[in-house]
Amino acid sequence: MVSSVLRDARRIVVKVGSSLVTNEGRGLDEVAIGEWCRQLAALVRGQGGEPREVIMVSSGAIAEGMKRLGWSSRPGEIHELQAAAAVGQMGLAQMYETKLREQSMGSAQVLLTHADLADRERYLNARSTLLTLLRLGVVPVINENDTVVTDEIKFGDNDTLGALVANLVEADALVILTDQKGLYTADPRRDPQAQFVHEAQAGDAALEAMAGGAGSSIGKGGMITKILAAKRAAGSGASTVIAWGREPDVLLRLARGESIGTLLVAQTQKNQARKQWMVDHLQLRGSVTVDAGAAAKLREDGKSLLPIGMVAVEGDFVRGDVIAVRDAGGTEIARGLANYASAEARLLCRKPSAEFERLLGYAAEPEMVHRDNMVVLGAR
């Protein structure tokens, strides 16, 4: 199964933990980070296959800050964690930028909090930014914005952040690089009878019973957070691989279809999960009516909905709401995520994208509903 899941993945989120990034807290591991960046660059360029889109979710800011501040153990006070993150983030971002530049790759630092993904507008803005970076061939390097988090909004571990990012960008796969070979039936450091788990179903309750607590004093997560992250990522159709981060060419070999680490398989395919979520919306905030030409493009060609094909807007909705798309007879032919609020959509009816900036004062997406965020329902 690994051979098909990773070989066919075109958008991949890679998460690497603090103990790997900082060599168990001894400082940023320049050689290891350089190796991962070399592999990321090769994936983006399509070395040995089709080009991939990759996002790196990297821990290490707090651990690097602790090292620079001379702290031997992770502090418990939130303001001390924030201070360590502020110090360490400088070196972490610089290291990734340097190592990706050595591979002639552009990089971007993106800091997120849970509040960014809980708020609809900020969620969509983060998604648009990341997708634009990927389209430009830039590798986003994401970390939790530890300098501003509180107990209420922090992710708690970057395994969860990796899964949320996978959901945010609708990744095909999440690869969690850790200091273990993968998942065992028990902790192999304590139980010599522990058996390696090559493959399982993401979300299987038995997996959680196998996992222990945090694995090191440097990182916050353990195998349980990786299992829960795989369960979360599976909700949007992304399968997860948990593998040893120092396995030679681990990312390239996974992309070639080699069986490395533990594969936790999502039971629902990416497109099916997203479309089912939209279909299952029982209460829609509004709808748009389209002309015959636009209806035909949606039904027959699978095109995006452009405002020039809209003739009317009903309801009160905001950007990111699921709305219905109706033909002139009132039949719902599709539904999807609105790129514009209802008030803006009314101004854009029958207008080409060249006029958006004049009408709204800014120009965002050219589509009212992008085809990737739409499910065509047909006659109902």
- Rounded to 5 degrees, φ, ψ at 139 are -95, 110
Q: How far apart are CA 307 and CA 48, in angstroms?
A: 41
Task: Return the ∠ at Cα 154 (arms to 61 and 165), rounded to 5°.
Answer: 80
Determine if residue 143 is labeled as part of a ligand binding site: no
Q: Please work out, in degrees rounded to the nearest 5, the angle formed at the alpha carbon of residue 53 by the alpha carbons of 50 and 59.
A: 135
End-to-end CA distance of the chain: 37
Distance in angstroms (rounded) separating the CA atoms of residues 91 and 61: 8
Q: Residue 125, annotated ligand binder?
A: no
204 is in an annotated binding site: no
Is residue 331 annotated as involved in ligand binding? no
Provide the b/e sequence for 179-203 (b: ≥16 CB within 10 Å).
bbebbbbebeeeeeeeeebebbbbb
**How many contiguous H segments (helices) and E segments (strands) does the chain have?**
15, 15
Q: Does the annotation flag 15 for ligand binding?
A: yes
Residue 59 marked as a ligand binder? yes
Binding residue ranges for substrate = 59, 146, 158
Binding residues: 15, 59, 146, 158, 178-179
Residues in binding site for ATP: 15, 178-179
